Structure 1
Amino acid sequence: MVRIVIDFGHGGSDPGAVANGLREKDLTMKIGKMIGDMLGEYEGVQVIYTRTDDRFLELSERVVIANKAKADFFLSVHINSGGGTGFESFIFNNPDAKTVAYQNVIHGEIMKAIGNVKDRGKKRANYAVLRETKMPAILTENLFIDNENDAAKLKSEQFLQQIAYGHVIGLEKAFGLKKKAKQQVQSQPKASDKKLYRVQVGAFADRENAERLAEELKKKGYPAIIV
């Protein structure tokens, strides 16, 4: 069993960064839940969320949840601000070799999935959730909420799916995860709830990633076409 803790950055009275009609706490929950849903398609994976609704949690509380669960990996999802653009990831200042290896894989897969976005690099920081967790941990900063072009992408449901997909493929490769043989039919949405997803090839680094996301959406019962 691989236990993965997904931490939606901010929440409750702490909205995180706010700009262009978006709030970081809402985007992190959306992306995090998409990651969790996709991980549900893999064998032997237990997903643990630090929060499941819009509530405030101290950083120390998030750490306690992960440590008590004896998780194998801690993933904290954030949206950046400060006038830049692009994607970056962080691990603790003094990481072990395993954490470095995980960052290399996950960072690379996210960049492949989100396509034409500036790669701000694989970084290190003394963040509490990276320092105090007892397992390998990574914090991702998924574009800048206060950059108009980045914000336009973050308003796209497909782009959020691409971000989530990149995280999941990174975790799949890092931990050698295998897909379940059969999908749970009950988890598919009702026909009345389905909407057509147009997966744009140009939004990805290569066509293969677009095709794989389209397949993922189809497995969940959503019609998807590549354009």
Structure 2
Amino acid sequence: MKVFINPGHMPGVDPGAVNPVSGLRECDVALAVGKLIEYYLKNAGCEVLRLQSDNLNGESPTYPNVCQTANDWGADVFVSLHCNAFNGYARGIETLVFNFGGQAERLAACVHKQLVDTEQSIDSQIPDRGLKQRQNLSVLRNTDMPAILVEMGFIDNDYDVILLENKQDAIAKAIARGVTDYANL
């Protein structure tokens, strides 16, 4: 299986959400977790291409186009990695798809289950915010293969940020397991 990993946002261009206390940036968490997922999936026999770029759908010729790169490579699945932020109090894990009812939802369900089980085994209070449909996101709308966007936790929440800072390996293993679960359906 060919897996395209897209760590969200890009250092120097758009760091994404930032923890107001520690300064932890979404782009850095996404890249660290993405590299680990790549390692685990390659060890599981998958072909993996990882690209962190702020150019989601051809907006800027300066950076590689994430959607077009995944489409041209012929990826079987697309996984975009992100951290949520809202008001400092919201927390939890959610996984986004373009539409319910297709292969993307099946991929999302596999990844989401592994991620929720893993994070809740570390912090039983972290909420499962479920699968959500989001048709306005470029990486879900402009990719030819089943695509998901994983919100690993709220980077602006004092509890979730502990997981995002200190449990990146466990998060990466969970996401990789979810992808291989999907591959074995």
User: Of 151, 155, 180, which residue of structure 2 is paired with 1:172?
Assistant: 180
Deviations 1:1-36 (A, max 9, x none): x11000010003100001132000000000000100
Q: Which runs of 4+ in 1 moved over 4 A?
A: none
Distance 2:112 2:15 in 1: 25
Percentage identity across paired residues of the two chains:
34
Tell me the SS of whatever aligns to 1:40. Answer: helix
Distance 2:54 2:127 in 1: 31
Tell me the SS of whatever aligns to 1:89. Answer: strand
Aligned position for 2:132: 123
Normalization by structure 2: what TM-score? 0.86
Distance 1:40 1:66 in 2: 17
Give the conservation status (yes or no) of the 8 Å contact 2:41–2:176: yes
Question: How many aligned residue pairs are there?
Answer: 168
Aligned position for 1:32: 34
Aligned position for 1:140: 150
Aligned position for 2:60: none
Distance 1:74 1:148 in 2: 29
Deviations 1:65-84 (A, max 9, x none): 10000100000000110021
Corresponding position: 1:149 with 2:159: yes
Aligned position for 2:17: 17
Distance 1:125 1:88 in 2: 12
Distance 1:145 1:109 in 2: 20
Distance 2:162 2:2 in 1: 33
Give the conservation status (yes or no) of the 8 Å contact 2:29–2:165: no
User: Which amino acid in 2 is paired with 1:132?
Assistant: N
User: Which amino acid in 2 is paired with 1:145?
Assistant: I
User: Which amino acid in 2 is paired with 1:77?
Assistant: L
Unaligned runs of 5+ in 2: 58-64
Aligned position for 1:180: none
Distance 2:16 2:119 in 1: 22
Give the conservation status (yes or no) of the 8 Å contact 2:7–2:51: yes
Give the conservation status (yes or no) of the 8 Å contact 2:6–2:80: yes
Higher relative contact order (CA 8 A, sep 6+): 2
Q: 1:96 to 1:135 in 2, by over 3 A?
A: farther
RMSD of Structure 2 on Structure 1 (CA): 1.4
Distance 2:176 2:78 in 1: 13
User: Which amino acid in 2 is paired with 1:98?
Assistant: Q
Distance 1:96 1:152 in 2: 34
Cα distance, 1:139 vs structure 2? 0.2
